[in-house]
A and B are shown apart, each in its own frame.
Chain A
């Protein structure tokens, strides 16, 4: 079920009414209901893959409850079971074919023939998100950071909570699990804020991202016919598309959770207004960056070792981050580009430079120049992220310099005005918690604003486009 579908428009209010009116006195029953609703939500896509979520939840719940009493050796074995099970699922469904294809290619190049065959597997939606979420629970229990969950219903609900099940934010057990273990209280301010966030998320997805998609798709599919201007525009529009698509999803997820009395973590903080790549990564897909930091970067030694070791750790994190997105060299190179942009900042020791500026809300001309430069670099990296393969990505970037004389692809120019207005609006909202945090405005203006957004959403709606991050 997609957030931008009529099904969700019917599903969510039904869940809301039952959850708050019929079950509000018993949080245990609310959890049972949320779990059922979440499984129904996921099952609407493909019920067969519910077994994977169930299995992942079951393994981590069992492992988690045994760890505190276990000996040191048994603890390690239990942790390994969880790691093997979760990463194994990821390896089979997401990465198996990638490794097989590359082995075949390697063997071919050294003149050996192989009998290896790729499998025709469907990638289960959201597998990278929920496996990381359950893994973090087991690791935290293993490290003694949290107590194991006493209720399997709470734990299973934590893993499969439908607003964030398929594309995050990747929640930590210490933040989300306790919320399922106590009575939720409905706060009107949170409810209204949640509705606003859902509306803004839908606007970003349906009006901006889905309108950019046809132009981006056409140009990436016809690089030969495209002019340099087409190629530059499409790269820019893809940057806007992926941001609006993913942050739009996150807004709807956070907003939906707020309406159910659950607080999810912030995943985006106006990332394209970052002054350097380090700041970008503090603002983009925050839940994933912090996951990698806590569960890979710090266990690898973080910045405690030698400079070389630290740089290696940084590099590894970015490569893994790229690989997490998909089984394709393009994602690995995308991660590599970000690493190569981050490492100089890190070496110069300026990776935390702008934190104070953000807090003080200070902005200079140099900051603006830095923002534009960072955005440009991010756009270049996005070309690798969007391309089918490395050859296409390199050819795309080369063609920007060689296709000036091409007549180019003519497309509907009506998308540019909404995109420009959207960027200006985001700029004015950059210090707010999300793009439509307009609670302080007069009620008439607010309602007219909502009406405008609803008209824009209805006007732009058509085919329900899937969210890009579902594929990860």
Chain B
């Protein structure tokens, strides 16, 4: 019994040591989240946001004074919290471009905070820019939430720690490289982009219809009981409200998709999407640009729902024209 009690005492002392370490980390991380947060350049007037369609399809180099902070698989919910966080600091943003397609309001996005496939990553992206209460509103899977909270708050957050040493802070977990890195000589590439015959052969033929089926199944039929997400629609409404409060114009852009993919969008979801667009357009500061079927040639696509670099040049030019920035 003496040995056991001694062991328990020593173990508890170590647990106490761990708890103190955890608390110290929590305080330090909170300082990091607040003080060394992502802030756009003071010259940035246009923020490009959304999922991989914005990240890989809109070239910030072409749009003056813009920054692309889109992120692959980013649901509207995360875009809202990112924008809210950015606008809480000093900034010169007067325009937000948000990629917006039927998939962004499909019921699949409701699973982003509960399903094993996405929850960990999505909750990690949210932790530094939300309060615990805001996170709980998203009804996340408690197991993933606990794991992510411990990982991000109670041990040193190495990802955010790097922000202390950077001149221009990064949003956490944005490891994906912007498409801009691939555009060194824009004029030359633009000439090529507008001469389809000069473009390399499409890779789309290599992408089987099975892959298209798989991707559309995930995008539109992950939940067979419900077609669209109330949460994503609600947070889009919050983005509209937030931009209005800050006197910021909002451009919703449906990025180009391959016709094979467009055909697979369920009619019901498409109708809800269009009805929502109509509703949002009632707000004076909201505008909508539909590029969904603006590109037809396979050579502008990297897969069925993503344009490649040449497609991005054309899509970005269309956005520029729409914004009268040409």
Contact = CB atoms under 8 A, between A and B. Distances in A.
Interface of A: 6, 20, 24, 186-188, 191-192, 195, 447, 450-451, 454-455, 458-459, 461-463
12 contacts: A186-B3, A186-B7, A188-B6, A188-B7, A191-B4, A191-B7, A195-B11, A447-B17, A454-B18, A455-B155, A458-B151, A461-B151
A463 B141 CA distance: 12
B146 A6 contact: yes
Interface residues of B, number: 22
Contact of A451 (B3, B21, B143): B21
B147 interface: yes
A447 B14 contact: yes
B23 to A, nearest CB: 14
A192 B18 contact: no
A156 B92 CA distance: 72
A6 B149 CA distance: 14
B254 interface: no
Contact of B10 (A6, A192, A451): A192
A447 B16 CA distance: 12
Contact of B4 (A186, A451, A454, A455): A186
Contacts of B116: 463
Contact of A459 (B4, B18, B21, B151): B151
Interface string B12-29: 001001100100000000
A451 B18 contact: yes
B120 interface: yes
B156 interface: yes
Contacts of B156: 455
A6 B147 CA distance: 9
A459 B155 contact: yes
Interface in B56-94: none
B150 interface: yes
A450 B10 CA distance: 14
Contacts, number: 42
Interface in B108-158: 116, 120, 143, 146-147, 150-151, 154-156, 158
A195 B116 CA distance: 30
A459 B18 CA distance: 15
Contact of A458 (B14, B120, B155): B155
A459 B120 CA distance: 12
A192 B21 CA distance: 21
Contacts of A191: 3-4, 7
A309 to B, nearest CB: 53
A187 B158 CA distance: 39
A52 B154 CA distance: 43
Nearest to B158: A459
Consensus secondary structure, chain A interface: helix
A24 B3 CA distance: 13
Contacts of A454: 18
Contacts of A20: 4
Given A6-B143, A188-B3, A195-B11, A462 B18 contact: no
Contacts of B21: 451
Contacts of B151: 458-459, 461
A54 B85 CA distance: 57
Given A447-B14, A454-B18, A461 B147 contact: yes
Consensus secondary structure, chain B interface: helix
Contacts of A459: 151, 155, 158
Given A191-B7, A192-B10, 7 more contacts: A6-B143, A24-B1, A187-B3, A188-B6, A191-B4, A459-B151, A459-B155
Nearest to B148: A462
Contacts of B17: 447, 451
A463 B148 CA distance: 11
Contacts of B146: 6
A463 B7 contact: no
Contacts of B18: 451, 454
A6 B146 CA distance: 10
Contacts of A186: 3-4, 7
Given A195-B11, A454-B18, A462 B6 contact: no
B11 A462 contact: no
Given A186-B4, A451-B21, A458-B150, A463 B155 contact: no
B125 to A, nearest CB: 14
A323 B4 CA distance: 44
Q: Which of B3, B4, B143, B151 has most A Cβ within 10 Å?
A: B4
A195 B8 CA distance: 12
Contacts of A450: 14
Interface in B142-178: 143, 146-147, 150-151, 154-156, 158
Contacts of B1: 24
A458 B146 CA distance: 11
A6 to B, nearest CB: 7
Nearest to B150: A458
Q: Which 4 A-B pairs rank lowest in CB-CB distance, beginning with the nearest?
A: A188-B3, A191-B7, A186-B4, A188-B7
A339 B151 CA distance: 45
B1 to A, nearest CB: 8
B117 to A, nearest CB: 9
A463 B150 CA distance: 14
Contacts of A451: 17-18, 21
A461 B147 CA distance: 8
A187 B11 CA distance: 14
Contact of A463 (B120, B154, B158): B120
Contacts of B155: 455, 458-459
A103 B7 CA distance: 58
Contacts of A458: 150-151, 154-155
A462 B154 CA distance: 15
A40 B6 CA distance: 30
Nearest to A461: B147
A187 B10 CA distance: 13
A432 B6 CA distance: 25
A195 B12 CA distance: 13
Nearest to B3: A188
A450 B1 CA distance: 26
Contacts of A192: 7, 10
Contacts of B7: 186, 188, 191-192
Nearest to A412: B175
Contacts of B11: 195
A188 to B, nearest CB: 4
A187 B4 CA distance: 7
A458 B10 CA distance: 22
A186 B4 CA distance: 6
B140 to A, nearest CB: 14
A267 to B, nearest CB: 25
A16 B155 CA distance: 27
B73 to A, nearest CB: 16
Contacts of B14: 447, 450
A193 B306 CA distance: 54
Nearest to A5: B143
A471 to B, nearest CB: 19
Nearest to B117: A463
Nearest to A460: B151
Contacts of B150: 458
Contacts of B158: 459
